[in-house]
């Protein structure tokens, strides 16, 4: 696919994240095999710049709540509940990063405190307006996967 076409698609998809789109995998149909999700869950490639915004945003990924990331040192307050994500792309392949984001428990085990960002396996009594909803949309997952792909040492 020409990269300009990819971009156009990515933009179109972020504006309609909850609609079923050809190539998009619903959260309860995602298959994680050996800690890997090989294919994009949105059917499109992610946009690393959009991913960086989602990563920082308290309302979206809020990844900084738990992870330090030197590439974002201008942001105040990096958490330390999870490991620093410096060089994360050297440690994990994109398919592995995607699986960690979609459902961290499938990779790290049930004890992990990292939320599953595209999973319907949630805790008890989720807020009523969030029932059946994932923290991030399929395209937002792909955007963050693309962003983490830039974090090389």
Partner 1 sequence: MKKTILRASLAAFAIAGYAGIATAEPVDEKLTIDGEREMTVKTKAPEGHPFDEVLSGWLFRTKETRALEADSFANPGMLRVEEGEALWNKVEGTAGKSCSTCHGDAAESMKGVGAAYPKWDKDNNRPINIELQVNKCRTEQMGAEAYPFDKGGQKPLTAYVKHQSIGMPVAADLTAGEMQKWWDKGKEVYYTRTGQLNLSCASCHEQNAGKYIRADHLSQGQVNGFPTYRLKQADLVSLHNRFRGCIRDTRAEYPKAFSDELMALEVYVTWRGTGLSVETPGVRQ
Binding site for ligand HEC (CB under 6 A): 55, 61-63, 65-67, 81-83, 85, 88, 91, 97, 100-101, 108, 112-115, 117, 144, 148
- Look at residue 101 and give the partner it binds from partner 1, ligand HEC, none, a contact being a CB closer than 5 to 8 Å depending on partner kind: ligand HEC
Q: Which is nearer to partner 1, 2 or 128 (CB)?
A: 128
CA distance 135 to 29: 16
Residue 96 contacts by C-beta under 8 Å, 6 or more apart in sequence? 35, 36, 107
Residue linked to tokens 């490639």: 45
Q: Are 89 and 71 a contacting pair, CB within 8 Å?
A: no
Q: What six digits make up the tokens of 17?
A: 């994240």
Residue linked to tokens 């999870």: 82
Query: Which of positions 61-120 make contact with partner 1 (CB under 8 A)?
Result: 62, 64-66, 68, 73-81, 113, 115-116
CA distance 112 to 114: 6
Q: Are 138 and 42 a contacting pair, CB within 8 Å?
A: yes
Query: Which of positions 3-22 make contact with partner 1 (CB under 8 A)?
Result: none
In the complex, the smallest distance separating the C-beta of residue 132 from ligand HEC, rounded to whole angstroms, is 20
Q: What backbone torsions phi and psi does residue 33 show, to the nearest 5 degrees? A: -115, 125
In the complex, the smallest distance separating the C-beta of residue 41 from partner 1, rounded to whole angstroms, is 18
- Look at residue 67 and give the partner it binds from partner 1, ligand HEC, none, a contact being a CB closer than 5 to 8 Å depending on partner kind: ligand HEC
Q: Which is nearer to ligand HEC, 9 or 94 (CB)?
A: 94
Q: What backbone torsions phi and psi does residue 81 show, to the nearest 5 degrees? A: -70, -35
- Look at residue 63 and give the partner it binds from ligand HEC, partner 1, none, a contact being a CB closer than 5 to 8 Å depending on partner kind: ligand HEC
- Look at residue 99 and give the partner it binds from ligand HEC, partner 1, none, a contact being a CB closer than 5 to 8 Å depending on partner kind: none
């Amino acid at each position: 696919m020409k990269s300009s076409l990819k971009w156009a698609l990515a933009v179109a998809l972020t504006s309609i994240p909850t609609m079923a789109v050809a190539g998009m995998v619903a959260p309860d149909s995602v298959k994680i095999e050996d800690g890997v999700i090989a294919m994009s869950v949105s059917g499109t490639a992610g946009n690393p710049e959009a991913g960086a915004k989602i990563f920082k945003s308290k309302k979206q990924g809020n990844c900084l709540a738990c992870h330090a990331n030197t590439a974002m040192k201008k942001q105040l307050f990096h958490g330390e509940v999870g490991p620093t994500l410096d060089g994360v792309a050297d440690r994990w392949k994109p398919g592995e990063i995607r699986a960690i984001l979609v459902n961290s428990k499938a990779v790290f085990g049930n004890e992990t405190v990292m939320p599953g960002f595209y999973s319907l396996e949630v805790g008890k009594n989720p807020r009523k307006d969030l029932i059946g909803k994932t923290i991030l949309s399929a395209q937002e997952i792909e955007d963050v996967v693309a962003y983490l792909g830039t974090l090389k040492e």
